[in-house]
Amino acid sequence: MEGAAAAAVDSSAWAVRGFDVRVDRPLVLGVINLTPDSFSDGGIFADPGAALARAERMFEDGADLVDVGGESTRPGAGSVDSTEEWSRIGPVVEALALRGIPVSVDTTKADVAQRAVDGGAAVLNDVSGLRHDPGLADVAAGSGSGLIVMHMRGTPRTMQNDVEYDDLVGEVRDALALSMQVACDRGCSPEQLVVDPGIGFGKSTEGNLELIAGIGRLLDLARPILVGASRKSFIGAILDVPVEQRMEGTIAACLSALERGARLFRVHDVLPVRRALDVAWAIRSSGTPGQAT
């Protein structure tokens, strides 16, 4: 994925099975956590009926995909086994797929990923960047699903133990390039891939700000960039507000990332972020024809 090979890839194309997706405008992923211990909404949507209603509302509010997770990735979180993870998310994934709503499944396990694509999921979202279970890339390759690879140092349990970097953005960029190479070596096409620098995953407050400010350095990966800053603790640290009061900070982080080249945004508050991104994109697109890239 270096040099001429990367240049040959259409960075606005995203190969997602069953859906025609082009990342030539901001895309929004609505977050549904089916966990009892998520940092933001743990336990609220544990009931499949409540989760399904929330997901349908997100889609109506402008989400391009709904991202469903059954294992918390908050700092310090432990793991759950595959059976428990799938029991949490399976009914919602299958119900949303039957309704024609594009579903992304947040998992690091190949066996959960396989059940997800069998159940109709269009995208796999791996916060470990294929480090936990590289076989997840085999599932993406075999199914043609989109694949999001994220940077995280360590695991959710350990990631905040070491947040010092010599060159944060450079190290994140190199790690994402390696994840992309693993995916391609296991049969994925580059067009299936989206990269996520991992805001809040093994980074300090200052590191998160540096990472958003430096997103432009990731553009030479020639893949769409996803940012997941929604309600994260760095926003709370800056504004001194609890998690439920971080919507304005989330919007600011998303707009800053948009201007620096990010095109996908994973958020809890779909409607206000969708509206803010649409206005910012309209302004960006109103200059010289063809200038918005």
Residues 162, 154: Cα–Cα separation, whole Å: 9
Question: Which pLDDT belongs to residue 5?
Answer: 45
Question: Which pLDDT belongs to residue 72?
Answer: 76
Question: Which pLDDT belongs to residue 39?
Answer: 47
Active-site entry in 173, 203, 266, 274: 266
Burial profile 146-158: b = 16 or more Cβ within 10 angstroms, e = fewer: bbbbbbbbebbee
Low pLDDT (below 70) residues in the chain: 1-8, 37-46, 74-78, 155, 158-159, 288-293
Question: Which pLDDT belongs to residue 48?
Answer: 79
Question: Which pLDDT belongs to residue 4?
Answer: 37
Question: Which pLDDT belongs to residue 44?
Answer: 60
Q: How many CB atoms lie within 10 A of CB 99?
A: 13
Active-site entry in 109, 231, 232, 263: 232
Question: Which pLDDT belongs to residue 221?
Answer: 97
User: Domain coordinates of the chain in residue numbers?
Assistant: 24-285
What is the residue type of 216? Answer: G
Q: Which of 73, 107, 85 has its CA nearest to residue 232?
A: 73
Note if the pTM is more than 0.85.
yes
Which residues, at least 6 apart from 133, have a Cβ–Cβ distance to it below 8 Å?
108, 109, 110
Reply yes or no on whether 232 is catalytic. yes
24-285 maps to which CATH number?
A: 3.20.20.20
What is the Rg, in whole angstroms, of the alpha carbon atoms belonging to the chain? 17
What is the Cα 255 distance to its own chain's centre?
16
